[in-house]
Amino acid sequence: MTIGQGIFLVAVLAFAYYATRLRSTRSDRLIYVCLAVAGFLLVLYPGWSTGLAHLVGIGRGVDLIIYLFMVFSLFHYAGNASRAKQLERAMTELIRQGALDTARPDSQVRADADVMRVMSE
């Protein structure tokens, strides 16, 4: 195993920990900015990716960029999944409350409710 592979594996494991334990909107934004800056620098200085790749034993600079992209994609997926889940939770709550409020009771529940209402008046 090369150094690069080791770093990549650690990155994926760290990502899994981050996605399930640490995530917050603020840290998400920070990571986005860091990734954007890294991408920007790699475009400005194409030699860097090759140099960096050789340094960690990956081989080609393109491979390093592909690996970085994979980590970025995972990160992006987790962000979307988390947002989708929040929306789903909110939607479930809304639909559930609406359903409970408009439920049709059976005759006995209705009668009990009538009695309760009359008694509380």
Partner 1 sequence: MRQTAAIQYQRAAQARTPQIARADVCVVIPAFNERLSLATVLEALAPLPYRVIVVDDGSTDDTAAVAHRFNVCVIRHAWNLGQGAALQTGIDYALRLPMTRYVVTFDADGQHRADDIPRVLAPLELGSHDVVLGSRFATGAAAIDVPPLRRLMLRAAVAFTRLTTRLRLTDTHNGVRAFTRAAASGLNITQNRMAHASQILSRVAELGLRYREVPVTVQYTPYSVAKGQTLLDALTIVWDIATARIR
Which residue ranges make up the site for partner 1 (CB under 8 A)?
19-23, 78, 81-82, 85, 88-89, 91-92, 95-96, 98-100, 102-109, 111-112, 114-115, 118-119, 121
User: Smallest gap, in angstroms, from Cβ of residue 119 to partner 1?
Assistant: 5
Please name which of 42, 30, 41, 37 lies closest in space to residue 75, comparing C-alpha atoms: 30
In the complex, the smallest distance separating the C-beta of residue 19 from partner 1, rounded to whole angstroms, is: 5
Residue entry with tokens 């960029």:
65
* Both tokens assigned to 65: 């960029």
Query: Based on CB atoms, which residue is closest to partner 1, 69 or 112?
Result: 112
56, 7 in Cβ contact below 8 A? Answer: yes
CA distance 110 to 12: 56
- C-beta closer to partner 1: residue 57 or 105: 105
